[in-house]
Structure 1
Amino acid sequence: MQLRAIAGYIENIYLVEDQAGLMLLDGCSRADVETVCHYIRDEIGLPLTALKLIVVTHMHPDHAGGARLLQQRSGALLACHPKAPGWYRGIAGRAAHAIDVALTWWVAGKLGKPKRHIWYKPSFEPDIRLSDEQRLPLFADWQVLYTPGHTDHDLSLLHLPTGQLYVADLIVSVKKQLTSPYPVCHPNQYKRSLWRVSHLNPSRVYCAHVKPLLDKDIDYDALIAQAPALPKNHWHSSKIRIYRALGLRPNQH
């Protein structure tokens, strides 16, 4: 098994190559579709049909935005958690989707990247709905782990023979310090997910926005201790600002 790293628009893209073909550990952003296609054809020297499986760990723009287009170009199967297709449904969901696209552009700007077309359909029907501890179809050496908290449907992917683990946005870095992501929609679930990963003792941890880490480089106790006690998301932040503007404390209501 070879794990290939590709520099994405705002995230690290990980492409698995083994006897079954190619698998994307995440659906990347719409801005990354040409980058991935170029890498498969020109760097590896394989046809796009060699891409057999695309896993979407969660529905945010830099993890799901390119999935459908890459599927259309390659014929790959698309897999995600059963809750993922409903993440952006409804009026509130569509508003959250627009905010998340805007946040992606904001992050790109902080990285010195130009604004690119990243809008994508915020829901899809996957070919495969993944459950906790399931082995990935076609790539049976990889096991699915349900690690919610950032959203209600986050997945991590463990390569069982080597202990390498992709955790997507479970851990990020701010000012060169490992920390929790934004948002954290379910704080208690997030802490349990960190605890679960810590007890796996992975040989190496791959994140979407942090360079690869050795397990000893991660202070899980500190991450759990620093994780928010209340939801840290768009709606909670807006509510706090409204209460402050009215001179109220959130716990008064």
Structure 2
Amino acid sequence: MQLHTLNGYIQNIYLAQHPEGLMLLDGCSRADVPMVRRFITQTLGLSLQDLKVIVVTHMHPDHAGGAHLLRRLSGCKIYSHPKAPNWYRGIAGRTAHLVDLSLALWVAGRLNKPRKNIWYSAVLKSDEFIQDGAQVPEFPEWQVLYTPGHTDHDLSIWHAQQRKVYIADLIVRVKNRYVPPYPVCHPNQYRRSLIRVAELPDATLYFAHAAPEHLDSDAFAKIQALAPRLPKNTWRTTKSRIYRALRLPYSST
């Protein structure tokens, strides 16, 4: 297995190349689709139909935004956790979808990237659901790990033979230090997910927003110490600011 790293619009993209075909370890963003297509057909000299599987780790724009379009172009299958299609459900969910699109464009601006079309459906139409401990269909060397916290449906993908694990946004790197992501919607689950990844034997971590690296127990302990005790997301942050502006007592519940 060869793991290719592509420089995406606002995140790293990892493409696993096997004799039986290609697997994207995440759904990238809509803006990344032309680049992924060129890499497969021009750099690797393969057919786009060699892309067999996309694993969507969670529903944010830079992780799910290109999945539907790539499936339409290649005929590949999309796999996700069963909770993923419901993440943006209802009025609150659709609002969160718009907020997340805006945040992705803000990140692009901070990275001096041009503004691009990153719109994608708020509802993921998966071909099949995969849960904790399952092997990825067609690529059984890869095992699915359920690592929620950032959302309620985050997945990581572990290649035991090569000791590589893609953890998406479980950990990010800001100002040269590893920290929890924003948001952390489920703090207790997040802490358990950190412990689970820390216990993988001699693992090299592949991040969506940092270069691959092996983290020792001290590094994980520092990230644990920074993890919020209460949910930290856009709605709660906005609510807190409104209450402070109106000088009203704020409850996190």
Structure 2 Cα separation of the partners of residues 107 and 92 of structure 1: 22
Q: Which runs of 5+ in 2 are unaligned?
A: none
1:212 to partner: Cα distance? 0.6
* Partner in structure 2 of residue 73 of structure 1: 73
Residue identity in the other structure for 2:85: P
Residue identity in the other structure for 2:46: L
Residue identity in the other structure for 1:151: T
1:215 to partner: Cα distance? 3.0
- Confirm or deny: 8 A CA contact 2:149 2:189 kept in the other structure: yes
Corresponding position: 1:99 with 2:99: yes
- Confirm or deny: 8 A CA contact 1:59 1:84 kept in the other structure: yes
Query: Counterparts in 2 of 1:80-229, with a 5 A limit?
Result: 80-216=80-216, 219-229=219-229
Deviation string for 1:203-246 (max 9, x for gaps)?
31000001111133971111111101111101110110121122
Deviation string for 1:9-51 (max 9, x for gaps)?
0000000001220000000000000000000000000000000
Residue identity in the other structure for 2:26: D
Deviation string for 1:169-224 (max 9, x for gaps)?
00001111100001100011111100111011343100000111113397111111
Q: Report % sequence identity.
A: 55
Deviation string for 1:148-172 (max 9, x for gaps)?
0000000000002111000000000
> What SS does the corresponding residue of 1:211 show, helix, strand or coil?
coil
* Partner in structure 2 of residue 53 of structure 1: 53
Residue identity in the other structure for 1:17: Q
Distance 1:73 1:217, change over 3 A: farther
- Confirm or deny: 8 A CA contact 2:236 2:252 kept in the other structure: no
Q: Which runs of 5+ in 1 are unaligned?
A: none
Structure 2 Cα separation of the partners of residues 170 and 201 of structure 1: 18
Structure 2 Cα separation of the partners of residues 202 and 27 of structure 1: 27
TM-score, length-scaled by structure 2:
0.97
Structure 2 Cα separation of the partners of residues 119 and 218 of structure 1: 39
* Partner in structure 2 of residue 35 of structure 1: 35
> What SS does the corresponding residue of 1:157 show, helix, strand or coil?
strand
> What SS does the corresponding residue of 1:250 show, helix, strand or coil?
coil
Structure 1 Cα separation of the partners of residues 20 and 32 of structure 2: 23
Structure 2 Cα separation of the partners of residues 18 and 218 of structure 1: 34
- Confirm or deny: 8 A CA contact 2:198 2:217 kept in the other structure: no
Distance 1:217 1:191, change over 3 A: closer
Could you say what the CA RMSD is over the residues aligned between the two structures, in angstroms? Answer: 1.3
- Confirm or deny: 8 A CA contact 1:57 1:156 kept in the other structure: yes
Distance 1:218 1:209, change over 3 A: farther
TM-score, length-scaled by structure 1:
0.97
- Confirm or deny: 8 A CA contact 1:202 1:215 kept in the other structure: no
